[in-house]
Amino acid sequence: MHASNLAKYLFESDPQAQIRAWGGDLLRKQGAEVVKDYKDLAFMGFVEVALNLKTILNNLSFCKKDILAYQPDVVILVDYPGFNLRMAKFLHENGIKVFYYISPQVWAWHKSRVKNIKKYVNELFVILPFEKDFYAKHDFSVHYLGHPLLDVVLESKKQLASSSIANDLGLQKPIIALLPGSRKQEILRMLPTMLNVSKQLPDYDFVIAGVENHRNLYESLCKDCDVKVIYNQTYSLLSNSYAAMVTSGTATLETALFNVPQVVCYKGNFISYLIAKHLIKGINYISLVNLIADKGVVTELIQNEMNPNRLLQEMQLILGETKNRQQMLNDYALIHQNLGNGNTSQQIARKMRELI
Instruction: For 239-288, write each residue's pLDDT tens digit.
Output: 999 999 999 989 999 999 999 999 999 987 767 666 666 566 667 888 99
Q: Identify whether residues 82 and 158 lie together within a single domain.
A: no
CATH number for 206: 3.40.50.2000
Enumerate the β-bridge partners of residue 247: 265
Residue 32 has what pLDDT?
A: 97
Residue 324 has what pLDDT?
A: 95
Residue 46 has what pLDDT?
A: 59
3-state secondary structure of 225: coil
Q: Which of 294, 307, 304, 286 is nearest to 334 (CA)?
A: 294
**Cβ neighbours, 10 Å, residue 105:** 16
Q: Identify whether residues 130 and 164 lie together within a single domain.
A: no
Q: Identify whether residues 17 and 47 lie together within a single domain.
A: yes
Q: Identify whether residues 244 and 260 lie together within a single domain.
A: yes
Q: Identify whether residues 132 and 184 lie together within a single domain.
A: no
Q: Identify whether residues 140 and 282 lie together within a single domain.
A: no
Contacts of 185 (CB under 8 A, 6+ apart): 44, 45, 48, 269
**What is the domain extent for residue 67?**
2-146+342-355
**Cβ neighbours, 10 Å, residue 354:** 8
Which regions in the chain score pLDDT beneath 70? Answer: 40-49, 51-52, 108-110, 270, 272-282
Instruction: For 160-211, write each residue's pLDDT tens digit.
Output: 877 788 888 989 999 999 999 998 989 999 999 999 999 999 999 999 999 9
Q: Identify whether residues 286 and 247 lie together within a single domain.
A: yes
